[in-house]
Amino acid sequence: MKRVHNFNAGPSAMPLSVLQEVQAEFLDYAGTGMSVIEMSHRSDSYQTLQAETETLLRDLLHIPKDYHIVFMQGGGSMQFVMHALNFLHCRGGYINTGVWSDKAMKAAAAFGEVYEVASTKAEGFTHIPRVLPQAIKAQTDYIYLTSNNTIHGTQWQTYPQVDIPLFGDLSSDFLSRPIPISQFDLIFAGAQKNIGPAGVVVGIIKDTLLDKAKRDIPDMLRYDTYVKHHSVYNTPPVFCIYFIYKVLQWVQQQGGVEKIAQRNKEKADMIYEVIDQSNGFYRGHADIQSRSVMNITFHLATPELEKMFLQASLQNNMIGLKGHRLLGGCRASLYNAVTEESCASLATFMKSFQQAH
């Protein structure tokens, strides 16, 4: 079996042991004589699985009792629509830190007034901005932020304290570090970066927020439909939720989210160290204090050199290092399942490529 060093930005690396377990159980789930994708979503077997998934997630992230956990479909992009459809009455304030928050704000504009509370767009999204209280207009329904900017490689180190509901897109750093849940009213995360296959989005919603939702919107697009029906209003993405359960168990075996966060930091440090000690051969995109632990973005001196770097990386069994088309350059995504060994190999490769050029 050939496995690559996988630095894909999403969908991305999953823990090998989870993939193997899923494979082993695929034909006969827990002695039922069927695959998990062949059973009713209302069966006891499935209902138990989903309930355990929720419980484990609640434990691992210390999610308080007054927050609901839901599983939705449509990806992060559907959330760009749903959060505003449900909660934008007057105006929504957006902290624009990259492509994804920009898209969320544009999608939300269909439902009311949107404005930038802060933005680093003019500076090429190189850092996380400060949020000034006076930038928040009266009658703002919520403040929206993107926790980790997958494309530009920046990440909030601590979240802003605001006294109106805070919404967070945590798609690309969910489960990678502890989350101060109670600072948020709504959190969502598409699964395919850190926790499972594309096709499911985890939502964490404060109970008191639900009362603020609009009434005249379709059931399928209402958060409280998912809450009331425990995410089985219609057929949920059963395979994805099952897979998440396996990943959560793996996180628990690794010592929990706190331990994972420490490992992720060490992994990212290996690569940032190479960048910082390269005398400008590798140039990081993000300002040092805003650097992401998940997505490391950098350039080489010329596009030709970058091309050679990417070609050489492929020969070294490393994939996914090409930067997003909007930013160019290179990007190494070091999600939870990317091993220390893969990171060490990348660091070694980067150093020897520099020496050779």
Binding site for ligand PLP (CB under 6 A): 10, 75-77, 100, 146, 150, 169, 171-172, 190, 193
- At its nearest, how many Å lie between ligand PLP and the CB of residue 34? 29
Residue nearer to ligand PLP on the CB measure, 120 or 172: 172
Closest CA to 150 of 290, 10, 318, 267: 10
Task: Evaluate whether 209 touches 165 at the Cβ level (below 8 Å).
Answer: yes
The reply to whether 77 sits in an annotated binding site is: yes
Residue 234 labelled as part of a binding site: yes
Q: Choose between 165 and 190: whose C-beta lies nearer to ligand PLP.
A: 190
Pairing of strands 186-190, 201-206: antiparallel
Yes or no: say if 240 and 200 are a contact pair by the CB < 8 Å rule: yes
263 known member of a binding site: no
Q: How far is the CB of 188 from ligand PLP (least distance, A)?
A: 9
For the sheet containing 140-146, what is the strand order? 67-72, 201-206, 186-190, 166-169, 140-146, 91-96, 113-119
Q: Are strands 166-169 and 140-146 parallel, antiparallel or unpaired?
A: parallel
Q: Is 250 annotated as a binding residue?
A: no
Q: How far is the CB of 41 from ligand PLP (least distance, A)?
A: 21
C-beta of 271 vs 294, nearer to ligand PLP: 294
For residue 193, indicate whether it is catalytic.
yes
CA 212 to centroid of chain Cα atoms: 26
Quick one: 172 or 336, whose CB is closer to ligand PLP? 172
- 86 in a known ligand binding site: no
Q: Largest alpha-carbon pair distance within the chain?
A: 63
Query: In this structure, what token pair is assigned to residue 331?
Result: 């990007």
Active site residue 250: no
Given 141, 156, 173, 193, the catalytic residue: 193
Residues in the chain: 357
- Helices (H) and strands (E) counted in the chain, each on its own, are 10, 14
The minimum distance between CB 329 and ligand PLP, in angstroms, equals 17
Question: 141, 156, 169, 185: which is the annotated catalytic residue?
Answer: 169
Q: Which residues are catalytic?
A: 100, 169, 193
**Annotated binding-site residue numbers for L-glutamate:** 42
**Annotated binding-site residue numbers for pyridoxal 5'-phosphate:** 76-77, 100, 150, 169, 192, 234-235
**Annotated binding-site residue numbers:** 42, 76-77, 100, 150, 169, 192, 234-235
